[in-house]
């Protein structure tokens, strides 16, 4: 081997060493910025509560049995506050223990597992696949605890790390678990006011005691919708729908031991139902799979036209090819334009406006994607979460990166959404 060849080999290995160091540095910087591999962002686990009562690390033990080496962060919040999955993953633990109370572990990949402790109710089971932002539990004060809160921890490669390096309590995207406007959202919010109130067989009082069908009847009655008294009568009168078409406010029905319709719950979104359960628990929230329903029913009439649905589904099909959250974001961009004086006042008018949507949405007008059609219904019904606020503009994430403006908007799915057109 001549000298030139030897120096080439040495140079090649030096390049590999420098490249590896650069990649490692970028990885660490990505983690410090609250991103995993610089792409998938972690979500704050309690969207409605942002304070931290006890940070990660050494501390004075707040009560007997509590650790002085705090492995996570404590987020104080009222009982029954929604606790969400911070990233996609698989539930590996969903159980009760003397110290952790009702707790959940979610494995995200070979590196990371997240923990959620001291809950009042668990809404998922071991083996469940969960998505980022999905409600997995209701906060509580179970186990060794000094008050209602969520203990949140992250395990990285077998070691606990400071969650504040991954989740950002001050992030601008404020996720919620249901739509903030619309009849369906209002029904869910009203129903939740009566959580914990008593169950009384034959009762119809939301405050003094009600049974399951009395509960759903009174909730609907508050919004001037008349439905029958008993669970069986409600089942017979409702328009039958499939599970995949469920939206907040729809009803789920269950058979009793005799094979008759004996129980009814109301869907509230995020794979949860609210119901007057029994004399021990009263009115509670349960995971949709706590029992196997025998049918699904709807009493709420659609507030949109078939034309609205077709055009909304067409533009979602063309502009959002990624996950459901990204499709919802495009749908709400259309809805935001309806509220703006700068755009037409109909779904069709917004979609067909010249120069606004460049993708071939017309090809989907008569045959939209099934997923887009489902999302379009949710958005038009006000039954989906609005992840973009009042933003009316978006471009693809790749194009935004080319222009150097990706950090000036909100990234949802494959698109970035802006207050105004800046490109």
Q: Which residues are catalytic?
A: 212, 263, 275
Residue 107: exposure state from Cβ atoms within 10 A (0-12, 13-18, ≥19): middle
| Cα-based angle 122, 117, 102 (whole degrees, multiple of 5) | 40
204 and 210 Cβ atoms separated by less than 8 Å: yes
Q: Residue 40 CB: number of other CB atoms within 10 A? A: 14
Integer Cα distance of 343 and 328 in angstroms: 20
User: 397-405 contacts: CB < 8 A, separation 24 or more?
Assistant: 399/423
């Amino acid at each position: 081997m001549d000298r030139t060849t030897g120096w080439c080999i040495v140079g090649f290995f030096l390049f590999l060493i420098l490249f590896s160091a650069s990649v490692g540095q970028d990885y660490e910087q990505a983690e410090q910025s609250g991103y995993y591999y610089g792409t998938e962002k972690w979500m704050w686990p309690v969207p409605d509560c942002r304070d931290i009562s006890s940070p990660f690390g050494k501390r004075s033990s707040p009560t007997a049995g509590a650790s002085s080496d705090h492995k996570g962060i404590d987020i104080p919040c009222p009982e029954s506050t929604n606790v969400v999955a911070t990233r996609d993953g698989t539930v590996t633990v969903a159980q009760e223990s003397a110290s952790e109370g009702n707790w959940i572990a979610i494995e995200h990949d070979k590196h990371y597992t997240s923990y959620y402790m001291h809950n009042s109710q668990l809404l998922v089971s071991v083996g469940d696949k969960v998505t980022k932002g999905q409600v997995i539990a209701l906060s509580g004060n179970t186990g060794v605890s000094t008050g209602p809160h969520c203990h949140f921890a992250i395990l990285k490669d077998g070691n606990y790390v400071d969650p504040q390096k991954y989740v950002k309590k001050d992030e601008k995207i404020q996720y919620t678990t249901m739509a903030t406007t619309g009849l369906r959202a209002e029904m869910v919010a009203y129903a939740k006011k009566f959580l914990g109130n008593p169950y009384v067989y034959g009762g119809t009082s939301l405050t003094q005691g009600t049974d399951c069908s009395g509960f759903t009847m009174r909730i609907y009655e508050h919004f001037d919708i008349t439905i029958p008294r008993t669970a069986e009568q409600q089942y017979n009168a409702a328009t039958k729908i499939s599970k995949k078409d469920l939206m907040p406010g729809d009803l789920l029905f269950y058979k009793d031991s005799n094979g008759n319709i004996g129980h009814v719950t109301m869907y509230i979104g995020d794979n949860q139902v609210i119901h007057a359960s029994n004399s021990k628990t009263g009115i509670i929230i349960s995971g949709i799979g706590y029992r196997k329903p025998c049918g699904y029913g709807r009493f709420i009439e659609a507030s949109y036209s078939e034309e609205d649905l077709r055009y909304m589904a067409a533009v979602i099909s063309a502009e959002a090819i990624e996950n459901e959250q990204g499709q919802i974001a495009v749908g709400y961009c259309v809805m935001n334009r309806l509220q703006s004086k700068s755009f037409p006042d109909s779904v069709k008018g917004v979609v067909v406006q010249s120069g606004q949507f460049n993708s071939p949405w017309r090809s989907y007008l008569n045959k939209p994607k099934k997923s887009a059609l489902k999302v379009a219904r949710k958005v038009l019904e006000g039954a989906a979460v609005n992840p973009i606020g009042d933003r009316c503009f978006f471009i693809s994430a790749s194009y935004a990166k080319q222009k150097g403006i990706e950090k000036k908007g909100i990234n949802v799915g494959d698109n970035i959404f802006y207050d105004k057109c800046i490109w």
